A and B are shown apart, each in its own frame.
Chain A
Amino acid sequence: MEYVNTFIKAIFIENMIFAYFLGMCSYLAVSKTVKTAVGLGLAVIFVLGFTVPINYLLENYLMKAGALSWMGPDYAAIDLSFLSFIMFIAVVASFVQLVEMAVEKFAPALYASLGIFLPLIAVNCSILGGALFMQERQFSNVGMATVFAFGSGVGWLLAIVALAAIREKLRYSNVPPALRGLGITFIITGLMGMAFMSFMGISL
């Protein structure tokens, strides 16, 4: 039950975009058509779902204060937590690189359709943000961290696909010139965020 709660919470109540604004840059840049939005969203789910558990294990068995005690009592006093940023980003960057190579080799069709989105994900704040939130919230085991990661990814996909759909329709409306493009996108996202706020009352 706890797993389901974490999953739902990560999708709706603590939505990456509407509650924390993570991954905003690619969210605004790649939401022009629904098709590309779905591609990027799936890639984010995939990368988040793998990097957060990896980072969780690294955090708990390598970097936390006392995490090295499995190597022997001499190592119990070591606290490497100040290195966590560099570790997380290295994991994310190398994982993205690996995935890119694997996809290129084994699924060229998928690679062609994802195109530039894969490398872009390395600098998508939502991936590193997922790792940092995982660190801040102290999940009890690696399963919870994985569920949280997938939930966050699904929430991100939901948000970007919704915005892309609205922007496709928006092309037919008459927006004031100075608000065209970026400005109206911000305001739409704000309104969508208000709609998502209605989930806040749900306590899980």
Chain B
Amino acid sequence: MSTAVSEPTAKAKAPSEPMFSKKTMKLISDPFNDTNPITVQVLGICSALAITVQVKQAIVMALSVTVVTAASNLVLSLIRNYVPNRIRIIVQLVIVAALVILVDQTLKAFVYDVSKALSVFVGLIITNCIVMGRIEAFALANKPWPSFVDGIGNGLGYGAILVAVAVVRELLGSGKLLGFQIIPDAVYAAGYVNNGLMILPPMALITVGCIIWIQRSRNTKLIEAK
């Protein structure tokens, strides 16, 4: 788990506030840009890089992480006042592991081929820094509903980067999107060749590096001090 660069400062809300207040909506919209889990908070990099060869895997992974983050935030926020501080890490890990087992069994039952392709990375959601990071940084200090929304927002922000990287890699690497051929045969006939390097691991890192570059050029307040 790495240090979060900037944390949303939302405090527990007054009980009279409506369910979808402005503050709550901000919890969903912020992770897409200002507090993106991957490009700003540097959480959950491992899986973001490994399973972005195809868009389909990326979408399944993004949904799984969103479900686990939201559910674990909700559960831990509910019991946050009853767990002694000293054993909280083990409690968190056990709850997250139980949720991940549920997700894993569901994937095995309904989308077996994707589950095979994701291999160990479903299990690694347990140690995905996003889940632990959001529990530590948000759920332990906030009420259940904002925590749940925060989990959804961060899961989706993570998913957005995942899908963006996967689109670039699948399009340039195999000329397909979601398994359908996008680049027409005529282009191949004219001498175009798929870039095999895009499929290989190092290009995932470079693609994410470029996404960070683009994002920070447009959103200059994220630039790190020298």
Does B50 sit within 8 A of A, measured CB to CB?
A: yes
Q: Which of the listed residues A127, A179, A180, A186 has the most CB atoms from chain B within 10 Å of its own CB?
A: A186
Does A93 sit within 8 A of B, measured CB to CB?
A: yes
| Known contacts A25-B129, A123-B129, A128-B127; A183 and B93 CB within 8 A of each other | no
Among B42, B90, B216, which residue has its beta carbon within 8 angstroms of that of A179? B216
Contact B209 A85 (CB under 8 A): no
Main secondary structure of the interface of B (DSSP, over half): helix
Q: Which residue of B lies closest to A126 (CB)?
A: B46
Contact A180 B101 (CB under 8 A): no
Interface residues of B in 90-118 (CB under 8 A from A): 90, 93-94, 97-98, 100-101, 104-105
B residues contacting the other copy or chain, number (CB 8 A):
49
Contact A21 B46 (CB under 8 A): yes
Q: Which residue of B lies closest to A200 (CB)?
A: B200
Contact B209 A186 (CB under 8 A): yes
Contact B44 A29 (CB under 8 A): no
B210: chain A residues at CB < 8 Å are 183, 187
Does B201 sit within 8 A of A, measured CB to CB?
A: yes
Contact A83 B101 (CB under 8 A): yes
Among B2, B42, B90, which residue has its beta carbon within 8 angstroms of that of A93? B90
Starting from the known contacts A21-B201, A182-B42, A193-B201, 16 additional A-B residue pairs (CB-CB under 8 Å) come to A24-B45, A82-B101, A85-B101, A86-B97, A90-B94, A120-B1, A123-B1, A129-B46, A178-B217, A181-B224, A182-B39, A184-B209, A185-B209, A190-B205, A190-B206, A194-B202
Q: Tell me the B residues contacting A by CB distance below 8 Å.
A: 1-3, 39, 42-47, 49-50, 89-90, 93-94, 97-98, 100-101, 104-105, 119-120, 123-124, 126-129, 132, 200-206, 208-210, 212-213, 216-217, 220, 223-224, 226
